[in-house]
Structure 1
Amino acid sequence: MSRAVSSLFLLAALLFFFALGNHQLQGSTEARVAGIAMEMHVDNDWVTPRLFGEPFLEKPPLSLWLDAGAIRAFGGTPWAVRLASAFAGLFSVMVLYGMLRRFGRPKAVAWSAGFMLATMASYWSNTRGVGEDGLLTLGVTMALLGFFQGLRHSTVGTSLLFVAGITIATLSKGVLGLAMPGVVIFSFLLAESLMDKRLKVGDWLRPGLLTLAGLIPLLIWLVVLYQRGGAHAVTEVLLTNSVGRFSGSFVEAGHYEPFYYYLIKLPQAFLPWNILVYLGLWHFRKSLMANRYLLFFTVWILAQFLMLTLASSKRTVYLMSLAPAAAVIAAEYARVLYEKLQAHEGASSLIGRIARHRHALIGGLLVVVVGCYLISAQWLLPHADRKLSFVPLVEQIQALQANGQNVALFQADERVGGASVFYTQRVIKGLDTGAQLHAFLTASPTNVAVIAGESEPVAPLKVLKVMMVGRQPYYFVGE
């Protein structure tokens, strides 16, 4: 293993795994996904994901399988259910470095791209959390890099990389996992055909046939799911939750934003390397026809950005799959700036002094960037537990249960439902209607229901205790 590979691997591992488990579940995604994984582990049902006892078929279960497996191997801790995302982040960085070297790029450029990917703020934070977006990014990265290398020099290895990427992406996000690499491949091949003024049928057929192979694991799961839940379950995964999110017909998904949502988010999308990404795209714009390598990564960014903009459901985390391409553009433009700076090494001006000390300045910048992330992981995220952790709420529920009282959750949202399952390792009784709530509370004077709401419940309900998780109040009520 070369010095460049080992240093990048160690730095990325430090960034993704340092203090990974020193804070509790935070936010709706972590609570929901961790709860589903815990329920899968407890019920030993690896086919139908469930949240709070009900089928939860928004996405295929690859991340849940990995999280539930980690729970079984290491216990039900936040650290365990974050492992899959952290490993996905690490593998994405190393695959990007390795394939850039295969493309003939210098070690410095490949290393810089890997480092920039690992230190993009949104990418770093999401790969250290519970969820499937890190796996989606890994799958998309593998598929697209394997596709581009296959155009240049097709081998069994590049084919396997592409197939594995499609498998990971589709088993993580379903139809979206197919669309994210697919829109880039289609756009790039179309651009090449127009520039070359000829259609290379083989270039179009090869990714199509390999995609069919990559879809086999997803199809196997869908067949088993069909045997368990019928056509409705399969339709919910493929149409309601995938196509429905894009068209806006899946109302429950939420996250509906105006078409310009991602334009507003661009200033923070690839921090702290945003300027390098955007100036790089502008700088390389005239060389794209002659440089298919730069064209490919530019198309990667623009095609996925356009597709996500057209979708009705929008979240900043969806931009994660653009991050590897953005890191490459940033690294290539950083090389241009470095060479310009190097040319002024002999000057007596301020730029000349900066040029002569460029290695020390670059080293200092890397230390500061890594240090900021480590400080955030060690102190800032645990500090956020004071407001965002579900542990005090769940501990209060457990204290009541230990006192012999029955506790139920009324119209539990995904956050508290998932967190309660994860921390108690069982499904707490749920109530859906006002009639069920009244019947439960009147059945025994010691029964307590937990209600999430913006306003305090009114009589005949009696508020026994109020607890806050973030800005959401939870009311413990009796009658």
Structure 2
Amino acid sequence: MKLIDKLIKTKTQQKLILGTLIVIIFLLYFMNSWSYDLWSPDEPRYAEVARETALNGNWIIPQLNQRTYYEKPPLYFNLVALSGLLIGRFSVTSVRLPGIIIAVLLLAFLTYFVRKEIDFLTGILSFIILATTINFFWLAMKVNLDIPLLFCTTLASLLLFRNRDNYQSKRWTTYLAFLLMGLGTLIKSPISILPVLTIIVYLFLHKNIYRLKKFPWLGSFFFLFLPGIIWLYLAYHIAGYSYLKTAVFDQLIGYSTGGQGHPQPFYYYLINFPLQALPWSLFLIPGFYYSYKVRSNLPDLLNYAIVSFLVIFLVFSLVGSKRGVYLMQLYPFAAIIIAWFFKLHFNGKIKNNKSIIIPTLIMAILFLFLGIYLYLQGTDLLTDQFQINLQQQSGFVFFYHSLVYLFIITSLILITITLFRSAQFNFSFIVLFGVILLIMLKTIFLPTLNQVKSERYLANDLAAAYTKQAEIGLWGSLNNDSGFVFYTGIYYDYIFENENEVKYFLAKPGKQILIINDVDKWEESSFKDIYQQYFRLKQYQVGSNKMLLLTEN
């Protein structure tokens, strides 16, 4: 600990440490991002919407397959489109780069605020914990809306907290916080206004609610609604009321209130969050315990992180539609709580090492069971999921063995290091595990799985068979099967929902090419035997689905 104190004594040293961490994490996230394709359903869809934005100038009304795309607002697609234009081409790297940059910026801003409110060590630990949380770095390396939304809400929340003493004198940064929440709405969802609720609850619980009397509400709500008003005005001018009804009321508001989406029981996140936030989530319980134990001496930001965590967890548990990615909003606050807990151990203020040892042993047992389960059932799981012959796929054998060894060896090392009763040793190894997992993910797991997860192989064959006289049909879902469009630039002429439409399409004169997103549809169709002799069928494995490409003989 004395060595750490010496290393972070001056601001120059602190900047050097933070700058080094930023570069390392960026390189880790960016590394090998070109070696595996966009994976359905979300990545290809979002990338294609961005490509069409740049190609056709659809900056206000997003489009997919040259049709209006109602499900999400345009802001993040515009950022990805700009990335593709600046780089000069739309590739898996160019469309993933904005998310990686935003994730690293979020880590940097989090460290800045924690250093200001607590200390630099807690800030750096928060950076490291969040950066090596499995679900965070998994999403940071993908084309997705949740990391950009998290950037907006976290920065807004921290700004509102920083200004808590006098919102009036700090009104311009308060306006910035509300502007960020407004931009969050244009990225994904009105759930971006959660920071307003968390700061109100925090001030109420700490008997400072009177500070809201001088809050610049009028100007704040002006900046909150400004991005949305501009977009709605332009969208109405271009597409009319019908677009606003579908895109805003049916999609944005419907999903945000849980009226649509993914219904799950109230307790869903109690199981889902600890698993997705590994390897650090197991230290949240002792973090909360010691926060309560020394509650009279807690830093204000830690108090705010605890309130924010509990409020957000409760809100999302009450909403009917639930997905693990929704709880990304918790991750920065969880990182602060866990970082403060470890710092107390590093400083020797927590003498009882059980609060480190017990979560570490639980993690070790979890990884050991997972490694043993994969050893016993892994081959069957891979064979059943992807319909592959492992004896003919050496890459998958190596992938399978690597997972088994990673979890079993990690569990044994975790059990061993608990004997040393050193918080620094535990923390360092868990960080090392996260980094090793990230590197293996980028260099072994994702490139190997790409063989049975990517749509590119089908897309290449589609492009080879395509002529300008051909008509392209999809018997499937545009939302789930848009990767072919991104890879080839060839749009679907028709999207079919039932076999009668497909039968009519195949019977038409001219050249037809058909993509079927589930081989069972073809096998169960009433016209399979009629057209089998006229079309060449090729089967592809895309995730758990067997897909077909039908081209004329």
Do Structure 1 and Structure 2 share a fold, with TM-score over 0.5? yes
Match for residue 14 of structure 1 among 6, 27, 39? 27
State the TM-score, normalized to the length of structure 1.
Answer: 0.88
* Correspondences of 1:334-345 after superposition (within 5 Å): 334-340=342-348
Aligned to 2:538: 465
CA distance, structure 1, for counterparts of residue 305 and residue 294 of structure 2: 13
CA distance, structure 1, for counterparts of residue 494 and residue 115 of structure 2: 54
Of 448-457 and 51-60, deviating more is: 448-457
User: Residues 25-82 of structure 1, C-alpha deviation per residue, up to 9 Å, x if partnerless?
Assistant: 0131112111211121222211111122321122221110011111222211011111
What is the aligned-residue RMSD (CA, Å)? 2.8
Match for residue 459 of structure 2 among 394, 402, 412? 394
Q: Tell me if the contact between 1:174 and 1:238 (Cα under 8 Å) persists in the aligned partners.
A: no
Question: 1:89 aligned to 2:103?
Answer: yes
The one-letter code matched in structure 1 to 2:181 is I
The one-letter code matched in structure 2 to 1:459 is S
User: Residues 342-392 of structure 1, C-alpha deviation per residue, up to 9 Å, x if partnerless?
Assistant: 9699xxxx999947x776665455344323212211221111101111101
CA distance, structure 2, for counterparts of residue 389 and residue 29 of structure 1: 12
The one-letter code matched in structure 2 to 1:243 is I
CA distance, structure 2, for counterparts of residue 40 and residue 185 of structure 1: 36
Aligned to 1:229: 239
Q: Tell me if the contact between 1:37 and 1:67 (Cα under 8 Å) persists in the aligned partners.
A: yes
Q: Tell me if the contact between 1:245 and 1:313 (Cα under 8 Å) persists in the aligned partners.
A: yes
User: Residues 393-414 of structure 1, C-alpha deviation per residue, up to 9 Å, x if partnerless?
Assistant: 1112112215975432124341
Q: Compared with structure 1, are the counterparts of its residues 116 and 31 closer, same or farther at alpha carbon in structure 2 (3 Å cutoff)?
A: same
Q: Compared with structure 1, are the counterparts of its residues 27 and 86 closer, same or farther at alpha carbon in structure 2 (3 Å cutoff)?
A: same
Identity %: 23
The one-letter code matched in structure 1 to 2:104 is L
CA distance, structure 1, for counterparts of residue 519 and residue 203 of structure 2: 51
* Correspondences of 1:404-423 after superposition (within 5 Å): 405-416=470-481, 418-423=482-487
Q: Compared with structure 1, are the counterparts of its residues 150 and 159 closer, same or farther at alpha carbon in structure 2 (3 Å cutoff)?
A: same
User: Residues 422-449 of structure 1, C-alpha deviation per residue, up to 9 Å, x if partnerless?
Assistant: 1112422123354543332112374231
Match for residue 199 of structure 1 among 202, 207, 210? 210
Match for residue 149 of structure 2 among 136, 140, 146? 136
Tell me the CA shift for residue 296 of structure 1: 0.9
User: Residues 187-234 of structure 1, C-alpha deviation per residue, up to 9 Å, x if partnerless?
Assistant: 2233233xx5x633336x336742431331222011100111222222
The one-letter code matched in structure 1 to 2:309 is I
Of 357-366 and 84-93, deviating more is: 357-366
* Correspondences of 1:192-341 after superposition (within 5 Å): 192-193=206-207, 199-202=210-213, 205-206=215-216, 209-250=219-260, 254-288=261-295, 291=298, 292-340=300-348
Aligned to 1:120: 133
The one-letter code matched in structure 1 to 2:67 is E
Question: 1:107 aligned to 2:171?
Answer: no
Tell me the CA shift for residue 183 of structure 1: 2.8
Q: Which is bigger in relative contact order (C-alpha 8 A, separation at least 6)?
A: 1
Question: 1:30 aligned to 2:30?
Answer: no
Q: Compared with structure 1, are the counterparts of its residues 278 and 97 closer, same or farther at alpha carbon in structure 2 (3 Å cutoff)?
A: same
Q: Tell me if the contact between 1:245 and 1:312 (Cα under 8 Å) persists in the aligned partners.
A: no
Match for residue 444 of structure 1 among 483, 501, 509? 509
Question: 1:67 aligned to 2:70?
Answer: no
The one-letter code matched in structure 2 to 1:116 is I
Unaligned stretches of 5+ residues in structure 1? none
CA distance, structure 1, for counterparts of residue 513 and residue 502 of structure 2: 10
CA distance, structure 2, for counterparts of residue 341 and residue 189 of structure 1: 28
CA distance, structure 2, for counterparts of residue 351 and residue 456 of structure 1: 54
The one-letter code matched in structure 2 to 1:165 is L
Q: Tell me if the contact between 2:175 and 2:219 (Cα under 8 Å) persists in the aligned partners.
A: no
Aligned to 2:9: none
* Correspondences of 1:340-355 after superposition (within 5 Å): 340=348, 354=420
CA distance, structure 2, for counterparts of residue 360 and residue 313 of structure 1: 40
CA distance, structure 2, for counterparts of residue 27 and residue 245 of structure 1: 20
Question: 1:455 aligned to 2:520?
Answer: yes
State the TM-score, normalized to the length of structure 2.
Answer: 0.77
Tell me the CA shift for residue 247 of structure 1: 4.3
CA distance, structure 2, for counterparts of residue 35 and residue 167 of structure 1: 25
Q: Tell me if the contact between 1:42 and 1:425 (Cα under 8 Å) persists in the aligned partners.
A: no
Tell me the CA shift for residue 156 of structure 1: 6.1
CA distance, structure 1, for counterparts of residue 176 and residue 437 of structure 2: 34
